[in-house]
């Protein structure tokens, strides 16, 4: 659970508008969705709320999928959609190892990691969707 070892093609994401054109925000998001770097991430339902740890080869795309409830399971059921922490790694193997370690961490360690990177618990997905 929480692994994205390849992902779907761009067409499966349904990112383009019905009129066939893309606005500036869609173009920016489209560019970010094409970037592939292994990453471990933490989603939260709210500050100090329910947490979810996952791993992916395409962080912006995976988080977008979580936010659109395209991924069945925990994050959809418990509405855990806010990206509050992530770390990019050099290889998928390293990312999977970190994900497994972090899932074994005590909750307080996870909260500390979030607080160190993102003390206000803002949704970091906004960084991927902000205009250039």
Q: Domain holding 14: CATH number?
A: 3.40.1440.10
CA angle 97-98-101, nearest 5°? Answer: 90
Number of folded domains in the chain?
1
Asked if 96 and 55 count as a contact pair (C-beta separation under 8 A), the reply is yes
- pLDDT of 31 reads 53
Domain of 19? 3-129
Low-confidence ranges of the chain (pLDDT < 70): 1-35, 131-132
pLDDT at position 56, please? 97
CA angle 41–47–52, rounded 5-degree value:
30
Q: What is the pTM for the complete model shown?
A: 0.73
Do residues 87 and 93 make contact, with C-beta atoms less than 8 angstroms apart? no
The confidence score (pLDDT) of residue 9 equals: 27
pLDDT tens per residue across span 57-66: 999 999 999 9
**Which residues on neighbouring strands pair with residue 55, listed in sequence order?**
3, 40
pLDDT in tens, 70-86: 999 999 999 999 999 99
pLDDT for residue 84: 98
């Amino acid at each position: 659970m929480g692994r994205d070892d390849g992902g779907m093609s761009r067409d499966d994401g349904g990112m383009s508008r019905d009129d066939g054109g893309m606005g500036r925000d869609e173009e920016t998001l489209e560019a970010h969705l094409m970037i592939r770097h292994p990453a471990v991430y933490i989603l939260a339902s709210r500050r100090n709320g329910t947490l979810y740890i996952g791993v992916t080869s395409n962080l912006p795309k995976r988080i977008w999928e979580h936010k659109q409830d395209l991924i069945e399971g925990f994050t959809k059921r418990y509405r855990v959609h806010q990206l509050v922490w992530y770390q990019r790694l050099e290889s998928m193997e390293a990312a999977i190892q970190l994900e497994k370690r972090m899932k074994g961490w005590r909750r307080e360690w996870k909260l500390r990691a979030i607080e160190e990177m993102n003390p206000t618990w803002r949704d970091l997905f906004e960084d991927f969707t902000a205009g250039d």
